[in-house]
């Protein structure tokens, strides 16, 4: 063993200084932590104290030769680095001076540097040329506790349901034949119906518990089994049954809901049309009331006016058909009518034509089809009449006189399905992340010539950066969607317009996030991620469609943006516009002041990690985009351009606004949630995850912030470095975090996750 020239009093600090300077992330606040420990060390001579303090001078950093001498002192020590120690670097330093019999002067407060600077073993075991006794994961946090926090009130019911998913009927297998796949999925749906899970959201009188939030949780957990099962379950009980529950009245509930919940009556939700997509108000299918026969004629007028991509179309015997309701020659807008598709012997009803959509990119266990109606007659009572009815005398009546308000009120009741879509997509992302992380904690690749075995790929900073921010975002989005479902399920909130705006934006950003994350996980697993047996390929194919069903994401972001600008939903060139515009300008003028250059380049850890900074950054972006969009629209209208065209000219601007608003909403919702976590250790973990989410989001939109002068180049760089640093700090806890998602072990069947 080669002796070092450093006295023991200084030698114990060497590992810390080597890590700090190799990391190149020393900030004023971090220097203050180290300086305090040095100043309070009673075993240091004034000369030693002066030497150590000089090494903290960022204006005159230590010479490269000095840093190399530190590295030699560490590498030549012959001491093993034990990752499993409570504070590995502190333990290493203590062993370092113990070789010289100087453990009595060891400064136990050195552990404060390790804690406050967030130094983790993977920050330095590539720097130290010593043998590392590696630990795959830390047990500082308990995944069961994390899962419990996320499950909340319904933890017992959720645990029971996850146990049911262990039954052989839910075992995952590769089925390439769509007919065989569909039959298995139908059997699974019927099993869940018999167990009472289909009717979960329905009232007690119809076999349910009236619990929409728990239903949504059941839905998202089904993604861990199979995407086709999840969607089929949602179509039958959420869309078809939900339309009867939300748009129908007691007569419909009494006649149909129990049978729907038991899967005795299989049905579909026939809204989307081939030629009209997301434009529900513009659908062409008609429902014409015939006063003499007291019935309604359902008709598809044109070739591309058929219902398209309808789940349960091949198995279903009834459909909730959305059509233009025409009474006495007047179009009263879109309403839903129950239309039988097949008779008791499963033969198509007269005038009904159904074609199989065939094989798709994914979800081939769902029987999607196209439906045409040729003068199909149904009783007047089949109109789901909660918001609009045809009275016995043949006249139309609605409590909501304004057709626009009636339309959006009707659609607002179906927002729960949009939340479930986002939840399902997020579960797909969480499943992919769990598989990718567990694989990365086993897979080894590359090393240098001094190491005996290759390194775990999870120990590479690049791998941490590609997976860890996505894990943090998954936590934020999970909490946000749970909150949205709770608000949506609150029957005391009758006006659903605000929640519809919020969910439109969230569904868009979360389903996009899910697809991007699954793709990243596929690549992170290399060729193994491409194998069907490892589940990621199926997740990728199944979740892809979530970006366009229940609303195309680009359209939904514009819907969200228009909701944000609802004050401008009147005539833009009317006298009222000026007053509204002035009001908006007053509300946000304080947010549009020139950003102070000192603030724009403030880089200390306390500021960058402060939720108030994150909230201000998100709030500034949303308000700035709102204000500038309003200004552009106003200027177009002043030139005589029609309102609709003015909106088209700022379409991409509105999409940016929708994204900004949704990000801010998610973060603020998450912050409110973290404040309610009672256990301080877990609360701090959730706060740190929120910090990584916020800094990642700001980093991803750094170009916008730089253009606005909100960030300077120095601060933008510091944020990027902090995202990398936080990703590395989470490395010891990464498996705990994905286990905290609560994915049942019996659902993690991918061989590479074992």
Catalytically annotated residues: 550
Write the burial class of residue 602 (CB in 10 Å: 0-12 exposed, 13-18 middle, 19+ buried).
middle
Q: At CA 459, angle to CA 454 and CA 462, rounded to 5?
A: 115
The CB density around residue 1, as the number of other CB atoms within 10 Å, is 8
C-alpha torsion sign, points 165, 506, 520, 123:
negative
What is the DSSP code (8-state) at residue 309?
Answer: E
Q: Rounded to whole angstroms, how far apart are CA atoms 319 and 338?
A: 6
The one-character DSSP state at 329 is T
Neighbours of 703 (CB within 10 A): 10
Burial class (CB in 10 A: 0-12, 13-18, 19+), 133: middle
Q: 23-28: list long-range contacts, CB under 8 Å, 24+ apart.
A: 23/123, 23/725, 25/721, 25/725, 26/56, 26/58, 27/603, 27/604, 27/605, 28/604
H or E, element range at 702: helix 702-708
CA dist 360 and 660 (Å) reads: 33
Q: Specify the DSSP element, H or E, that contains 716.
A: helix 713-729
Distance between CA atoms of residues 15 and 185, nearest Å = 58
Packing angle, helices 14-23 and 88-98, rounded to 10: 140
Distance CA 280, CA 559 (A): 13
Burial class (CB in 10 A: 0-12, 13-18, 19+), 293: exposed
DSSP 394-443: S-EE-S---HHHHHHHHHHTTHHHHHHHHHHHHHHHHHHHHHHHHHHTT-
Q: What angle do CA 335, 212, 403 make, to 5 degrees?
A: 25
Structural contact between residues 365 and 175, judged by C-beta atoms closer than 8 angstroms: yes
Q: Are 354 and 370 in contact (CB under 8 A)?
A: yes
Cα 493 to chain centroid distance, Å, stands at: 25
Category of 369 on φ-ψ map: left (φ > 0), alpha (ψ -120 to 50) or beta: beta
Q: Are 307 and 321 in contact (CB under 8 A)?
A: yes
Q: Is residue 677 helix, strand or coil?
A: coil
Query: Angle 704-706-708 (CA atoms, 0-180°, nearest 5)?
Result: 70
3-state SS class at 230 = helix
- Six-digit token pair at 171? 């075992």
* Token pair of 237 as six digits: 């009980």
d(CA 390, CA 549): 31
Structure letter (DSSP) for residue 601: T
């Amino acid at each position: 063993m080669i002796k070092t020239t450093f006295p023991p009093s200084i030698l114990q600090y060497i590992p810390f200084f080597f890590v700090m300077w190799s990391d190149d992330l020393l900030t004023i606040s971090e220097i203050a932590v180290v300086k305090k420990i040095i100043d309070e060390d009673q075993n240091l001579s004034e000369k030693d104290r002066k030497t150590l303090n000089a090494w903290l001078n960022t204006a005159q950093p230590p010479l490269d030769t000095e840093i190399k001498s530190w590295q030699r002192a560490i590498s030549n020590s012959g001491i093993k680095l034990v990752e499993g120690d409570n504070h590995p670097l502190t333990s290493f330093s203590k062993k370092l001076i113990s070789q010289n019999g100087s453990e009595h002067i060891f400064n136990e407060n050195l552990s404060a540097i390790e804690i406050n600077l967030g130094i983790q073993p993977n920050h330095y075991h590539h720097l130290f040329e010593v043998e590392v006794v590696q630990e795959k994961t830390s047990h500082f946090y308990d995944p069961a506790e994390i899962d419990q926090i996320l499950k909340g009130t319904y933890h017992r019911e959720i645990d029971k349901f996850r146990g049911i998913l262990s039954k052989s009927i839910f075992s995952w297998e590769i089925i390439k034949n769509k007919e065989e796949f569909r039959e298995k999925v139908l059997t699974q749906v019927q099993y869940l119906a018999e167990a009472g899970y289909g009717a979960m959201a329905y009232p007690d009188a119809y076999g349910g518990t009236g619990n929409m939030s728990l239903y949504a949780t059941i839905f998202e957990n089904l993604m861990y089994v199979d995407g086709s099962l999840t969607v089929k379950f949602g179509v039958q009980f959420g869309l078809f049954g939900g339309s009867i529950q939300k748009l129908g009245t007691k007569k419909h509930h009494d006649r149909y809901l129990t049978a729907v919940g038991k899967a005795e009556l299989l049905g579909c939700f026939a809204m989307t049309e081939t030629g009209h997509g997301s434009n529900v108000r513009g659908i062409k299918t008609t429902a014409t009331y015939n006063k003499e026969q007291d019935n309604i004629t359902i008709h598809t007028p044109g070739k591309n006016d058929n219902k398209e991509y309808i789940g349960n179309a091949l198995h279903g015997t009834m459909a909730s058909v959305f059509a233009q309701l025409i009474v006495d020659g007047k179009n009263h807008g879109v309403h839903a009518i129950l239309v039988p598709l097949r008779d008791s012997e499963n033969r198509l009803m007269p005038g009904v034509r159904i074609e199989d959509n065939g094989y798709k990119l994914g979800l081939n266990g769902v029987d999607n089809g196209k439906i045409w109606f040729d003068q199909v007659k149904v009783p007047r009572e089949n109109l789901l009449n909660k918001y609009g009815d045809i009275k016995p005398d043949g006249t139309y009546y609605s409590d909501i006189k304004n057709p626009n308000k009636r339309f959006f009120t009707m659609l607002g009741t179906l927002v729960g399905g949009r939340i479930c879509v986002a939840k399902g997509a997020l579960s797909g992302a969480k499943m992919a992340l769990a598989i990718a992380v567990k694989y990365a904690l086993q897979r080894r690749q590359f090393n240098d010539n001094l190491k005996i075995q290759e390194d775990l790929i999870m120990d590479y900073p690049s791998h941490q950066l590609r997976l860890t921010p996505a894990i943090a975002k998954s936590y934020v989005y999970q909490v946000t969607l749970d909150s949205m479902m709770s608000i949506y399920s609150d029957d005391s909130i009758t006006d659903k317009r605000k929640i519809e705006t919020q969910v439109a934006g969230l569904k868009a950003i979360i389903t996009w996030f899910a697809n991007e994350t699954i793709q990243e996980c596929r690549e992170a697993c290399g060729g193994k991620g491409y194998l069907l047996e490892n589940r990621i390929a199926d997740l990728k194919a199944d979740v892809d469609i979530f970006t366009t069903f229940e609303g195309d994401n680009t359209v939904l972001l514009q819907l969200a943006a228009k909701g944000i600008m609802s004050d401008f939903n009147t005539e833009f060139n009317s006298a009222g516009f000026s007053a509204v515009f002035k009001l908006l300008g007053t509300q946000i003028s304080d947010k549009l002041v020139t950003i102070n250059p000192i603030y724009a380049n403030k880089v200390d850890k306390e500021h960058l990690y402060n939720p108030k900074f994150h909230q201000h950054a998100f709030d500034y972006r949303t308000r700035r985009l709102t204000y500038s969009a309003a200004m552009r629209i106003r200027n177009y209208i002043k030139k005589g351009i029609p309102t609709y065209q003015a909106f088209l000219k700022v379409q991409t601007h509105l999409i940016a606004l929708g994204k900004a608003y949704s990000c801010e909403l998610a973060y603020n919702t998450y912050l409110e949630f973290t404040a309610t976590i009672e256990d301080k250790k877990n609360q701090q973990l959730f706060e740190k995850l929120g910090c990584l989410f916020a800094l990642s989001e700001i980093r991803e939109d750094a170009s916008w912030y730089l253009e606005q002068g909100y960030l300077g180049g120095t601060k933008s760089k510091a944020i990027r470095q902090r995202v990398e640093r936080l990703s590395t700090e989470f490395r010891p806890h990464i498996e705990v975090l994905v286990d905290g998602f609560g994915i049942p072990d019996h659902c993690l069947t991918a061989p590479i996750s074992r």
